[in-house]
Structure 1
Amino acid sequence: MCENNGSSFPCSTHRGLVISDTWPGYNLDVFSLPNHYCEDLECVYIPHGVIVDRIERLASDIMKDIGDNHITVLCVLKGGYKFCADLVEHIKNLSRNSERFISMRVDFIRLRSYCNDKSTEDLQIIGEEELSKLTGKNVLIVEDVIGTGRTMKALLSHMENYNPKMVKVASLLVKRSAGNNTYSPDYTGFEIPNIFVVGYALDYNEHFRDLHHICVISDKGKEKYKV
């Protein structure tokens, strides 16, 4: 999966686990998948076990950076809920067994910027009243996917109105694209090509959230579930 190292395996950098443009994913036949989705997927792109192990390392990095603080975790729904839940649980487990301690509360917002598989210019913030609670707080935003970066930059700009003390961003996935060269989150799980993936709570028009693995949706799946 790693770019420019002659290997099919992922490499770890400050950009997270980098998956190359040529990574074909895993054959669907070697994983357990819901039968009703099998014809709608091309491959298993990131297996569930790899996701969980990577999140555990992100939790460790966050503990090292911002331990001994009270943190407000701002989960971006809906796609971020699974990542957020697992990340918070790992941080709690590390905190229980560490001399450092992170006290956390979790709030939720929703951002809307996609139509089918395309990002749009419009950003809608649902649950904006939660942002008013962030004044003077240390905030960890937990997002599922950062694509062009426009949505996250717009959210961060909007949050400045509420004067948080500190803001960090953790994203499970960051997509490489020509338009995303000016923003990188503080914590990245995986850097992937600019492809549309589903599973592990990531959806396509509210479908596929129940997949344990991150998968590539097929053209047939896009057509079947488009709105």
Structure 2
Amino acid sequence: MASFLQIADDEKGHELELFCVPKHYENDLERVIIPHGLIKDRTERLARDIIRDMGGHHIVALCVLKGGYKFFADLLDFIQVLNQNCDKSVPLTVDFIRLKSYCNDESTNSVKVIGGDELSSLTGKNVLIVEDIVETGRTMKTLLALLEECNPKMVKVVSLLVKRTPRSCGYRPDYTGFEVPDEFLVGYALDYNEYFRDLNHICVLTEEAKEKYKV
């Protein structure tokens, strides 16, 4: 089983006043649950693990948009540094796919894939899927089933977050940054109806903010 950093259900987090938070979000957030610096340190470790396991292979890093873009960029930056300084290195190319399965704060049963027609280019390739958060796991299982039809050589999944939830189908990624409580989290490109992507830290959203930004 891959290692991860577990954020407990009763984790109190950190007061917003201790961090730089955009003023327009100050009243929308309960607390900082994962500070930006901790995200970066954990991402660097994930990059090391990926190079250890996949070094020597040509990898197509597949970013799941939109929520994965910051994690994807930081992870690839760390891999690039390791490539320059380690005995093992990973030749990388990148691709992007967009999945949509949320309405407000509820995960829907349908998964909309945007850009899925390009997956055929991954035939015979070693694919690293880079995701921001795995919740029920159904979205990732849908994507993996689509990928399987294209016959890639190997597929690994790295997710910054995995949510501890009774709604989970039991799926676990190959690499996990943090296991988090069953709360609605925003920041570091995780959004609520497109808001909060411009927030460095991962924070817990207030109930009032869910109503405020509801569509």
TM-score range, shorter chain: over 0.9
Check whether the contact 2:13–2:32 (CA below 8 A) recurs between aligned residues.
yes
Which residue of the partner structure matches residue 153 of structure 1?
141
Is there any run of 5+ residues in structure 2 with no aligned partner, and where?
A: none
Whole-Å Cα distance in 2 between the matches of residues 214 and 50 of structure 1? 10
Specify the SS of the correspondent of 2:20.
coil
Which residue of the partner structure matches residue 41 of structure 1?
29
State the shift of 1:182 in Å: 2.0
Is there any run of 5+ residues in structure 1 with no aligned partner, and where?
A: 1-12
Which residue of the partner structure matches residue 212 of structure 2?
224
Q: How does 1:107-122 map to 2 (within 5 A)?
A: 107-122=95-110
Specify the SS of the correspondent of 1:144.
strand
Whole-Å Cα distance in 2 between the matches of residues 179 and 207 of structure 1? 25
Whole-Å Cα distance in 2 between the matches of residues 177 and 45 of structure 1? 17
After TM superposition, the runs of 4+ consecutive aligned structure 1 residues lying more than 6 A away are: none
Whole-Å Cα distance in 1 between the matches of residues 17 and 170 of structure 2? 39
Note the aligned Cα RMSD (angstroms): 1.0
Structure 1 residue corresponding to 2:39, chosen from 51, 54, 67: 51
Whole-Å Cα distance in 2 between the matches of residues 179 and 36 of structure 1? 32
Check whether the contact 1:107–1:130 (CA below 8 A) recurs between aligned residues.
no
State the shift of 1:15 in Å: 4.5
Whole-Å Cα distance in 2 between the matches of residues 91 and 15 of structure 1? 19
State the shift of 1:181 in Å: 5.1
TM-score by length of 2: 0.98
How many residues were matched structurally? 215
Spell out, residue by residue over 1:86-116, the C-alpha distance to the aligned partner (whole angstroms, 9 max, x if none).
Answer: 0011011101111212110110000000000
Whole-Å Cα distance in 2 between the matches of residues 15 and 176 of structure 1? 15
Specify the SS of the correspondent of 2:192.
coil
TM-score by length of 1: 0.93
Matching residue's letter, 2:184? F
Structure 2 residue corresponding to 1:170, chosen from 140, 158, 161: 158
Specify the SS of the correspondent of 2:194.
coil
Specify the SS of the correspondent of 1:173.
strand
Specify the SS of the correspondent of 2:8.
coil
Specify the SS of the correspondent of 1:172.
strand
Which residue of the partner structure matches residue 90 of structure 2?
102
Check whether the contact 2:2–2:174 (CA below 8 A) recurs between aligned residues.
no
Whole-Å Cα distance in 1 between the matches of residues 116 and 141 of structure 2? 16
1:192 paired with 2:197, answer no
Whole-Å Cα distance in 1 between the matches of residues 17 and 78 of structure 2? 30
Instruction: Work out the percentage of aligned pairs sharing the same amino acid.
Output: 60
Which residue of the partner structure matches residue 132 of structure 1?
120
State the shift of 1:73 in Å: 0.4
